[in-house]
Amino acid sequence: MTPHLHHSGGTVVEPVDIPVSKRHLDMVYSHLKFSDKPFMGSVTAPERAEDSIALAEMVFGKDFLAENTVITSLINASSPMCWDATMLGAAEAYARANQATVISPFIVAGAMAPVTVAGVAAQTLAEALAGMAFIQLVNPGAPTVFGSFAMSMSMQTGAPTFGTPEPALMLYTMAALARRLGVPFRSGGNLCASKIPDAQAASESISTFIPAILGGVNFMLHSAGWLEGGLSMGYEKFIIDADQCGLAANLVKGVDLSENGQALDAIKETGPGQHFLGSEHTLANFETAFAVSEIANNDSYEQWSEEGSLDSAQRANSIWKKMLKNYEPPPLEESIDEAMLDFIAKRKSELPDEFA
């Protein structure tokens, strides 16, 4: 339902009460049933990637899938300098079906790579190039994205840290390398270690989000809802982050240098020492002139107090509850839904119950 997110992601919810060998079916079905956005398929086994493709073919048609990307799946390297059979097997399945893969080393600097920015960058480039080359060997021309996800760590506890300068420098470096290679670039996001949507969450998130925006990320993963280093998410954090994504969309549009954007008529009309509030140009543009936050409160202290003294998290809480109340699933032909459910039932009857 969020207009500021263009992709429904991957593991939105993992149903841990369903066997590992079968839960991917419910997860992919939920993407296709409850959203009309592109999504991520399963990558936890090659056969689960095949199931993801089969379900997508039921919705879009096999011929359409052969020519168009509807699934963009995350393929992580086993850093340092390893690619395992599980990830490569899933990547091969998607590449053969002409579906996109995000080839992305996942690095905690100091544990899975050197502690220095240049060392992390060199290792990330080597790992990503190997993965992207593999995709092209499987199916030359298959769509792929150069991914980089690098975070620092506390050298006292080993816990991942966010909002520090070094990961930002790593991101800028990898983005420049991706442009040099001429391939799309993925990184994240609104990342933090905080457990609630507090000041720490805000400062750490914006310190990872802004470098991704300014670095020219093409596909930003983990842009909304991230808490506790990715171990959990929060609905309020999701709403706050999505709001930031909407504001950032205006930032990346750049400067409007059209006739209206240059506003010379307004400057001539108003003249020295006057104000622009009543000019024709202002009246024609006032509704769209500035991005408006859906979360921020700009009222006076007195008005804010009279309306309950709500903080950002409290305002976000009411927004997500209203969104869920008003949710309507996108249209889907009944025959397609039945075909997917039949396929899922058949596959579940064939697969053993495995929780590992």
Domain boundaries, the chain: 20-254+336-345
Beta bridge mates, 145: 102
Name the burial class of residue 269, with classes exposed (0-12), middle (13-18) and buried (19+) by CB atoms within 10 angstroms of its CB: middle
- Predicted model pTM: 0.92
Nearest to 207 by CA among 261, 153, 253, 167: 167
Fold of 20-254+336-345: TIM Barrel (3.20.20)
Determine the Cα–Cα distance for residues 286 and 284; give it in Å rounded to an integer.
6
pLDDT for res 159 = 86
Provide the 10 A C-beta neighbour count for residue 136. 12
Judged against a pLDDT cut of 80, whether residue 161 lies above it is answered with yes
Q: What does each C-alpha distance from 56 to 51, 61, 173, 298, 332 come to in angstroms?
A: 9, 8, 35, 45, 13
- pLDDT tens digit string along 223-262? 999 999 999 999 999 999 999 999 999 999 999 999 999 9
pLDDT for res 12 = 87
pLDDT for res 188 = 85
Judged against a pLDDT cut of 80, whether residue 356 lies above it is answered with no
| 77 in Cβ contact with 120 (< 8 Å) | no
Beta bridge mates, 74: 102
Percentage of the chain lying above the pLDDT 70 cut: 100
Of the pLDDT bands very low, low, confident and very high (cuts 50, 70, 90), residue 333 is very high
Of the pLDDT bands very low, low, confident and very high (cuts 50, 70, 90), residue 146 is very high
Q: Is 105 helix (H, G, I), strand (E, B) or coil?
A: strand
Distant-in-sequence, close-in-space partners of 235: CB < 8 Å, separation ≥ 6: 225, 316, 317, 320
| 278 in Cβ contact with 263 (< 8 Å) | no
- The number of residues making up the chain comes to 356
pLDDT for res 343 = 98
Higher pLDDT, 82 or 355: 82
Q: What is the mean pLDDT of residues 130-143?
A: 97
Judged against a pLDDT cut of 80, whether residue 275 lies above it is answered with yes
- pLDDT tens digit string along 33-75? 999 999 999 999 999 999 999 999 999 999 999 999 999 999 9
